[in-house]
């Protein structure tokens, strides 16, 4: 997995916790918490500007989820939001009503989209994808993708307590393994250390997997070579 951010931000809201969680050795939410997350929590996009990629709004440990709504905020200097589409989680229980809202690429806001089950039925349980967001890269740099306006209701019209897990995206030149905005000998060094590795080997470095195929090999070397000496 990609290296995660090393800070935690917590803002209390009514009946819930609002977090930007990081893998820094501190305690996180309990395994019984209902989590609404942006997944993956940390994404590095190696690309030319104008590349599209997707992230998911996921739910973990849901109990009797009948209705959900969620919006997103993001950095408009780095990203352009193209769409938010309904995911399959509620649909496993039956027919859903999907209410898309608006995308504002001036303020960096996807206003809340919502989905509800229909009929006299119980809600969905477990884990799954609530929605999928498609972004396009506009510039190199970092953007937090933050959940906003999130509400979960069960089949008794009671709000479900939840923890929100936000995410970060880092858009880099392909070949920039250390994130210093240039492709040079320091990146070649890192590629050499990780060469012939995959996630199950001790020398694995996901920052050298420029094409995202879960291995570091000649394809990644070709990508680095194509941009060697480039600086932004």
What number is the average pLDDT over the span 11-32?
38
Q: How confident is the model at residue 22 (pLDDT cuts 50, 70, 90)?
A: very low
Domain coverage including residue 25: 9-172
Q: How confident is the model at residue 9 (pLDDT cuts 50, 70, 90)?
A: very low
Alpha-carbon Rg of the chain, whole angstroms?
Answer: 19
Considering the domain architecture, whether residues 84 and 40 belong to the same structural domain is answered as yes
Considering the domain architecture, whether residues 147 and 124 belong to the same structural domain is answered as yes
Q: How confident is the model at residue 104 (pLDDT cuts 50, 70, 90)?
A: very high
Does residue 31 register a pLDDT over 80? no
Q: What is the pLDDT of residues 58-82, one digit of tens each?
A: 999 999 999 999 999 999 999 999 9
Q: Please check whether residue 179 lies inside any domain of the structure.
A: no
> Distance between CA 73 and CA 215 in Å, rounded?
32
Cβ pair 149, 69 in contact under 8 A: yes
- Backbone phi and psi for residue 227, each to the nearest 5 degrees, phi listed first: -110, 10
Considering the domain architecture, whether residues 65 and 43 belong to the same structural domain is answered as yes
Q: Please name which of 137, 227, 225 lies closest in space to residue 181, comparing C-alpha atoms.
A: 227
> Distance between CA 131 and CA 150 in Å, rounded?
13
Considering the domain architecture, whether residues 160 and 213 belong to the same structural domain is answered as no
Peptide bond into 40 cis (omega under 30): yes
Q: Please check whether residue 146 lies inside any domain of the structure.
A: yes
Q: Please check whether residue 180 lies inside any domain of the structure.
A: no
Q: How confident is the model at residue 101 (pLDDT cuts 50, 70, 90)?
A: confident
In the chain, helix, strand, coil percent, each to 5? 10, 45, 45
Q: Please name which of 166, 150, 167 lies closest in space to residue 65, comparing C-alpha atoms.
A: 150
The pTM of this model reads 0.81
Considering the domain architecture, whether residues 20 and 55 belong to the same structural domain is answered as yes
Considering the domain architecture, whether residues 151 and 126 belong to the same structural domain is answered as yes
**Unique residue bearing structure tokens 């193209």:** 82
For 191, the enclosing helix (H) or strand (E) is helix 185-194
Q: How confident is the model at residue 146 (pLDDT cuts 50, 70, 90)?
A: very high
Considering the domain architecture, whether residues 50 and 28 belong to the same structural domain is answered as yes
Q: What is the pLDDT of residues 109-128, one digit of tens each?
A: 999 899 999 999 999 999 99
List of E strands, 2-41: 9-10, 17-20, 35-39
Q: Please name which of 145, 162, 132 lies closest in space to residue 67, comparing C-alpha atoms.
A: 162
CATH number at residue 93: 2.60.40.680
| Total domain count, the chain | 2
Considering the domain architecture, whether residues 159 and 213 belong to the same structural domain is answered as no
Q: What is the pLDDT of residues 148-195, one digit of tens each?
A: 999 999 999 999 999 999 999 999 999 999 999 999 999 999 999 999
Residue with more model confidence, 20 or 96? 96
Q: How confident is the model at residue 23 (pLDDT cuts 50, 70, 90)?
A: very low
């Amino acid at each position: 997995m990609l290296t995660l951010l090393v800070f935690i931000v917590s803002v209390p809201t009514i009946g819930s916790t609002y977090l930007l969680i990081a893998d820094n050795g501190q305690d996180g939410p309990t395994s019984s918490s209902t989590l609404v997350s942006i997944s993956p929590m940390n994404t590095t996009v190696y690309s030319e500007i104008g590349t599209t990629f997707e992230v998911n709004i996921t739910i973990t440990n849901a109990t009797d989820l009948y209705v959900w709504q969620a919006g997103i905020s993001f950095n408009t200097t780095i990203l352009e939001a193209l769409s938010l589409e309904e995911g399959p989680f509620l649909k496993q229980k039956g027919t859903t009503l999907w209410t898309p809202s608006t995308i504002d690429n001036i303020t960096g806001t996807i206003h809340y989209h919502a989905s509800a089950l229909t009929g006299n039925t119980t809600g969905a349980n477990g884990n799954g994808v609530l929605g999928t967001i498609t972004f396009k890269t506009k510039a190199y740099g970092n953007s937090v993708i933050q959940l906003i306006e999130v509400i979960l209701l069960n089949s008794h019209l009671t709000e479900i307590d939840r923890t929100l897990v936000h995410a970060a995206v880092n858009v880099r030149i392909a070949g920039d393994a250390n994130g210093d905005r240039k492709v040079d000998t320091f990146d070649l060094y890192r590629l050499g250390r990780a060469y012939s590795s995959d996630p199950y080997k001790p020398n694995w470095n996901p920052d050298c997997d420029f094409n995202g195929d879960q291995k570091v090999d000649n394809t990644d070397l070709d990508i680095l070579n194509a941009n060697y000496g480039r600086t932004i």
